[in-house]
Amino acid sequence: MRPPLLRRLLRRVASVAVCGLLPLLAAYPVPAAAAPAAPAAAGLQQVTGFGPNPGNLQMFAYTPDSVPAGAPLVVALHGCTQSADAYHTHSGWTEYADRWGFDVVFPQTTSANNPLSCFGWFDPAESTRGRGEAASIVQMVQYAKQTYGSDGRRVYVTGLSAGGGMTADLLAAYPDVFAGGSVASGLPAQCATSQAAASGCQTGPQKLSPAQWGDKVRNSYPGWTGPWPRVAIWQGTSDYTVRPANATALRDQWTDVWGIGQTPSGTQSLPGNTTRSVYADASGRSAVETFSVSGMGHGLPVNPGPGAEQCGSTAAYFLDTICSAYHTGVFWGLDKGAPGGGDGLPAPAGLKVTGITDTSASLAWNAVAGAASYAVFRDGTKVASTASTAYTDTGLTAGTSYRYRVGAADPSGAAGPGSSAVTATTSGGTAPARCFTASNYAHVTAGRAYTSGGRAYAKGSAQDMGLYNVFVTHTLRESPAGHFVIADSGCQAGSS
């Protein structure tokens, strides 16, 4: 493998020379002191001299040979007691970097910063704009843009546990740097501002309203009005290290920032006992998604195997349930099969949902000059090729959300980039009602209710359940999925 700095310079020289733009190389300076060191693992290279590095972090990068300049960049943050090498080896991100064509930066902290090698998500000196570890990570992004030619419009950050808490802080402090994020078993942005308060966040974050959580993001970069990053939230229901209430707080925080409600636009069952909930913006584009993995403890979901939706390998805190890297990458639009890149025709504009039934979704989009056909993709998988600018997808499941994108192809079949995604939720639904009897605290922890002003409210119906504590008990009835009503006087499961 060529050293990535040399390889990328050669690629950049070749690409700009073909376009007759060789003099523009001066616009992309490479820090003279920056140089890859010996690999920490196969394909993983340490980079030194990437910037002033106020957070005293180490930078490792995975840069596939086939990735051209202008590709997306993913920043992946390990959890406590882990390393960049472990995240590179087990998380699955390098597999999709090879398949879909993007670069990955793996920041690493050490025991010199924290005895357990945790990122300092709870320390304002490390987690706020322009300071400490957060500033070092952004310097790594700048290095990748200058050296690898990474597309500054498509930079994403993901992390597990303490890395997830730092991910949320980075999204709040640097919405101008990161287009999206994914928080796995992590904490809301600025949940704690001291190490003493950190354990309280882990076991149960502050009882704040969505607006109060949202203010923590808005106050991290005052004056920023958007666009905001798109955020995926991964959480195991049996996580006793970072309690599931944090996923609820994260959802409340980022849906409030986006100005959308806390009731999902739709839900979908995924492998590994995972429930995906979609929170779409006014245009129908998914802005926030939660992935609740039933029965999973504390860790990053992986699913070893050869399948297109499988990835990673099991180890401490890498749990065999579902490939979170695949579903997060699809959410961000990294998957080429959706499609995500190419030098062909421009992406179709104006994609919208024109109609739904319980088993179908109808789409329409604007024509692209020179297009011979259009490929329609549902949840990252191609489902149709059509010469028309409209398509009806059939055979769907009632009461389920599906994510669509469309790409244009020229007469040779070369496909260009995919459109912005829209979400269609089919009507109806035959799933039987379910009943849950538990304390208000347990209902909130399980995601069946939310808190505001010290009281609990049923998700969907917003019915007042009383004080948020373990002493008040209610029965909630769920129908349709994600919509709960108080049913203390009797709850018939299976009725509609």
% helix, strand, coil for the chain, step of 5: 25, 30, 45
Instruction: Check the CA dihedral 236-241-243-249 and report its sign.
Output: negative
Helix (H) or strand (E) holding 218: helix 210-218
20: which residues sit within 8 A by CB, 6+ positions away? none
**H helices present in 235-356, as ranges:** 245-258, 324-332
Nearest to residue 167, comparing CAs of 230, 253, 76?
76
Local structure of 136: helix, strand or coil: helix
DSSP string of 138-191?
HHHHHHHHHHT---TTSEEEEEETHHHHHHHHHHHH-TTT-SEEEEES---TTS
Q: Strands across the sheet with 473-478, in order?
A: 434-439, 473-478, 484-486
Beta bridge partners of 408: 374
- The CA R_g of the chain, rounded to the nearest whole Å, is 23
Do residues 152 and 145 lie in contact, with contact meaning Cβ atoms separated by under 8 Å? yes
185 is catalytic: no
Distance CA 487, CA 465 (A): 11
d(CA 477, CA 374): 43
**381 torsion bin: left (phi>0), alpha (psi -120 to 50), beta (else):** beta
Q: Which of 91, 127, 161, 185 is catalytic?
A: 161
DSSP E strands: which ranges in 273-428? Answer: 274-280, 286-293, 300-302, 318-320, 352-356, 361-364, 373-378, 381-386, 390-393, 401-409, 415-418, 422-425
Phi and psi at 116, nearest 5°, equal -105, 15
| Active centre residues (catalytic) | 161
